[in-house]
């Protein structure tokens, strides 16, 4: 029996889904747990499964259409040839994008029909016929590049032609036929258009003719780049809604510190030297420092709830990753128990699948603390917006070699600025400062991570 297949909620935060691709074509059979379509959600492209056995009778929405969960997207049945007309008619009444009916021909002509009696009310004798204007006969005697041209099509009637006050007039009183650009170029170069021979259609003077007559060329102004209007993706809509709510609802304050990164840079160089086959970045080592500091100081590893504050026993760090449609935060589970190489390998694997929108919901939800690092883009310092319900997020700048004062002398040293955004309902100023001091100990003496 034919029935609707409705858009499933393939993501816990999904409000609408976009059909990215149909995996089962119309008329094709399917087995239980077959993937019927690929659906774009607010975080990733997910696979919509079907748990029945049957045949795909009709797709009701096209690729790129956006519908909410529970809305019909296809008609399925037990066998080919089942009548779907009733369901199609029912779907037409449910469609949120139902087109307005076009006006009928007699309705479109109704205003004219109603106005006709008023026009006929005046006696025929009083209506003097309007004098007819003789239409110029089409001239077919002009050619350009061997083709016969109709000048009545190429050029407007002489009486209606726009005349420029600065346009040159031939000595014999004839009309100059020149393009607007040619006229402006002629005015800029001081060229009398009456002395220029046109090579354009029907003898029209074009820019090249003016430049040739003056012996110089004028660069044509570049056309301005056109505006580009982009349709909002589900991910961008969710980012906008969540971050706006975070900015409006959470009382935040910011704490910025500068860390001495000399030992940190040296530690990573030693890892590269003694473990050349292991890929470890500055970001990997820093995440390990944050994870250890959160384990030692759990007051910063917390979240705000309805009437409660939760201080997490686990350390699950969300790492912000930029993708084409926005931003997503894959989660490193139990980050305080991972080695440097494990952190790096997991981040690369998660980031790769995030950019191809293949993350599962449990891989980008449920973090206890978030890190956003823009140091690789040479950003010295910035502030980040909290990812609720977490109580803090850490914005990491670049590691830079800068002049520093040491023992009364100016020398160079490696420094890095980090800014912690805190939810004041959970973290007070002293609490946030204490966490950054714990983090300083690990960043400035990373050998402690091996203990």
Q: Are strands 369-373 and 392-396 parallel, antiparallel or unpaired?
A: parallel
Mean pLDDT of 311-324: 93
Residue 439, judged by CB atoms within 10 A of its CB (0-12, 13-18, 19+), counts as buried
Q: Is residue 109 part of a domain?
A: no
Confidence of residue 222 (pLDDT cuts 50, 70, 90): low
Average pLDDT, the chain: 81
Crossing angle of helices 282-296 and 262-274, in 10° steps, is: 120
Confidence of residue 417 (pLDDT cuts 50, 70, 90): very high
Give the pLDDT score at 354: 87
Give the pLDDT score at 106: 43
| pLDDT higher than threshold 80 for residue 120 | no
331 with 440, same domain: the answer is yes
Q: Is residue 127 part of a domain?
A: no
- 194's CB contacts (< 8 A; 6+ apart) are 168, 169, 170, 171, 176
Give the pLDDT score at 148: 53
Residue 72 has phi, psi (to 5 degrees) of: -60, 135
Mean pLDDT of 92-104: 54
Q: Indicate the DSSP class of residue 122.
A: S
Which tokens go with 91? 């779907």
Measured distance CA(365)–CA(342) in Å, rounded: 20
- 188-201 pLDDT, tens digit per residue, is 888 888 888 888 87
Give the pLDDT score at 288: 96
Percentage of the chain lying above the pLDDT 70 cut: 80
CATH of the domain at 419: 3.30.559.10
Q: Is residue 151 part of a domain?
A: no
247 with 210, same domain: the answer is no
Secondary structure in 3-state letters for 283-306 = HHHHHHHHHHHHHHCHHHCEEECC
More confident residue, 23 or 42: 23
Give the pLDDT score at 95: 64
Give the pLDDT score at 445: 96
Angle at 364 between CA 354 and CA 349, to 5 degrees: 40
Catalytic residue flag (residue 424)? yes
Decide: helix, strand or coil at residue 337.
helix
Lowest mean pLDDT among 51-55, 136-140, 314-318: 136-140
Q: Which domain holds residue 76?
A: 3-92
Q: How far is CA 185 from the centre of its chain?
A: 41
Confidence of residue 334 (pLDDT cuts 50, 70, 90): very high
Lowest mean pLDDT among 11-20, 321-330, 345-354: 11-20
Q: How many Cβ atoms from other residues are within 10 Å of residue 4's Cβ? A: 17
Q: Which of 37-46, 49-58, 325-334, 413-422 has the highest mean pLDDT?
A: 413-422
Measured distance CA(131)–CA(346) in Å, rounded: 86
323 with 378, same domain: the answer is yes
What DSSP letter does each residue of 241-266 carry, written as one string? Answer: HHHHHHHHHS-EEEEEEEEE-HHHHH
CATH of the domain at 23: 2.40.50.100
Mean pLDDT of 352-361: 86
Q: Which of 208, 267, 265 is nearest to 402 (CA)?
A: 265
| pLDDT higher than threshold 90 for residue 314 | yes
313 with 413, same domain: the answer is yes
441 with 313, same domain: the answer is yes
Decide: helix, strand or coil at residue 318.
strand
Identify the H or E element spanning 344: helix 340-355
CATH of the domain at 181: 4.10.320.10
Mean pLDDT of 58-80: 88
| pLDDT higher than threshold 80 for residue 27 | yes
* The one catalytic residue among 247, 274, 282, 424: 424
Q: How many Cβ atoms from other residues are within 10 Å of residue 309's Cβ? A: 14
**What's the total number of domains in the chain?**
3
Measured distance CA(379)–CA(417) in Å, rounded: 10
283 with 406, same domain: the answer is yes
307 with 431, same domain: the answer is yes
More confident residue, 275 or 96: 275
Decide: helix, strand or coil at residue 61.
coil
- 73's CB contacts (< 8 A; 6+ apart) are 5, 6, 7, 19, 37, 59, 60, 61, 67
Measured distance CA(311)–CA(390) in Å, rounded: 10
More confident residue, 266 or 203: 266
Q: Give yes or no for a contact between 378 and 313, defined as CB atoms under 8 angstroms apart.
A: no
Q: Is residue 88 part of a domain?
A: yes
| pLDDT higher than threshold 60 for residue 297 | yes
Q: Is residue 348 part of a domain?
A: yes
Q: Is residue 157 part of a domain?
A: no
Mean pLDDT of 217-230: 70
205 with 256, same domain: the answer is no
Q: Which of 33, 31, 38, 39 is nearest to 56 (CA)?
A: 31
Measured distance CA(74)–CA(62) in Å, rounded: 10
What DSSP letter does each residue of 16-51 carry, written as one string? Answer: -EEEEEESS-TT-EE-TTEEEEEEE-SSSEEEEEE-
Q: Which of 300, 281, 280 is nearest to 290 (CA)?
A: 300
- 386-396 pLDDT, tens digit per residue, is 999 999 999 99
Query: Last residue of some domain: 92, 111, 132?
Result: 92
Side-chain half-sphere of 35: how many Cα atoms within 13 Å? 12
Q: How far is CA 335 from the centre of its chain?
A: 31
| pLDDT higher than threshold 70 for residue 23 | yes
Percentage of the chain lying above the pLDDT 90 cut: 38
184 with 83, same domain: the answer is no
| pLDDT higher than threshold 50 for residue 245 | yes
254 with 371, same domain: the answer is yes
Confidence of residue 306 (pLDDT cuts 50, 70, 90): confident
Confidence of residue 111 (pLDDT cuts 50, 70, 90): very low
Which tokens go with 48? 């919509």
Mean pLDDT of 240-244: 86
199 with 285, same domain: the answer is no
Q: Is residue 65 part of a domain?
A: yes
Lowest mean pLDDT among 73-87, 115-129, 209-223, 336-350: 115-129
| pLDDT higher than threshold 70 for residue 278 | yes
pTM of the predicted model as reported, rounded to 2 decimal places: 0.58
207 with 255, same domain: the answer is no
Residue 405 has phi, psi (to 5 degrees) of: -95, 130
| pLDDT higher than threshold 50 for residue 108 | no
| pLDDT higher than threshold 90 for residue 226 | no
Q: What is the CA radius of gyration of the chain?
A: 36
Residue in the block written with tokens 């000048």 = 151
Measured distance CA(135)–CA(227) in Å, rounded: 42
| pLDDT higher than threshold 90 for residue 385 | yes
Q: Which of 429, 387, 247 is nearest to 303 (CA)?
A: 387
Query: Last residue of some domain: 75, 92, 109?
Result: 92
Q: Is residue 223 part of a domain?
A: no
Query: Last residue of some domain: 92, 112, 138?
Result: 92
């Amino acid at each position: 029996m034919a029935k609707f297949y409705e858009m499933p909620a393939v993501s816990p935060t999904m409000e609408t889904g976009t059909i990215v691709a149909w995996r089962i074509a119309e008329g094709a059979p399917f087995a239980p747990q077959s993937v019927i379509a690929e659906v774009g959600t607010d975080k990733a492209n997910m696979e919509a499964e079907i748990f029945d056995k049957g045949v795909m009778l009709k797709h009701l929405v096209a690729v790129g259409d956006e519908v909410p969960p529970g809305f019909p997207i296809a008609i399925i049945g037990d066998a080919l040839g089942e009548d779907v007309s009733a369901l199609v008619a029912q779907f037409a009444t449910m469609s949120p994008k139902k087109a307005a009916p076009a006006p009928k021909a007699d309705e479109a002509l109704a205003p004219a029909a109603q106005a006709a009696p008023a026009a006929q009310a005046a006696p025929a004798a009083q209506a003097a016929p309007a004098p007819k204007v003789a239409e110029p006969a089409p001239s077919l005697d002009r050619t350009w590049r061997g083709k016969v041209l109709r000048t009545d099509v190429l050029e407007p009637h002489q009486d209606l032609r726009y005349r420029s006050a600065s346009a040159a007039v031939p000595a014999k009183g004839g009309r100059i036929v020149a393009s607007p650009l040619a006229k402006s170029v002629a005015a800029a170069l001081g060229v009398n258009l009456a002395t220029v021979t046109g090579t354009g259609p029907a003898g029209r003077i074009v820019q090249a003719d003016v430049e040739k007559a003056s012996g110089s060329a004028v660069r044509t102004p570049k056309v301005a780049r056109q505006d580009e209007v982009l349709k909002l993706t589900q991910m961008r809509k969710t980012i906008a809604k969540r971050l706006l709510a975070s900015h409006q609802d959470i009382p935040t304050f910011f704490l910025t510190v500068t860390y001495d990164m000399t030992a940190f840079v040296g530690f990573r160089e030693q890892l590269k030297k003694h473990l050349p086959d292991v890929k470890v970045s500055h970001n990997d080592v820093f995440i390990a420092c944050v994870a250890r500091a959160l384990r030692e100081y759990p007051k910063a590893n917390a979240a705000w709830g309805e009437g409660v504050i939760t201080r997490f026993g686990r350390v699950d760090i969300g790492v912000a990753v930029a993708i084409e449609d926005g931003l997503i935060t894959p989660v490193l589970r139990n980050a305080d128990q991972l080695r440097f190489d494990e952190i790096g390998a997991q981040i690369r694997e998660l980031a790769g699948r995030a950019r191809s929108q293949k993350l599962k919901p449990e891989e980008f939800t449920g973090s206890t603390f978030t890190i956003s690092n823009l140091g690789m883009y040479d950003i010295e310092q910035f502030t980040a917006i909290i990812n609720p319900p977490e109580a803090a997020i850490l914005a990491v700048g670049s590691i830079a070699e800068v002049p520093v004062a040491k023992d009364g002398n100016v020398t160079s040293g490696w420094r890095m600025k980090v800014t912690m955004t805190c939810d004041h309902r959970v973290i007070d100023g002293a609490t946030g400062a204490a966490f950054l001091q714990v983090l300083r100990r690990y960043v400035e003496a990373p050998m402690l991570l091996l203990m």
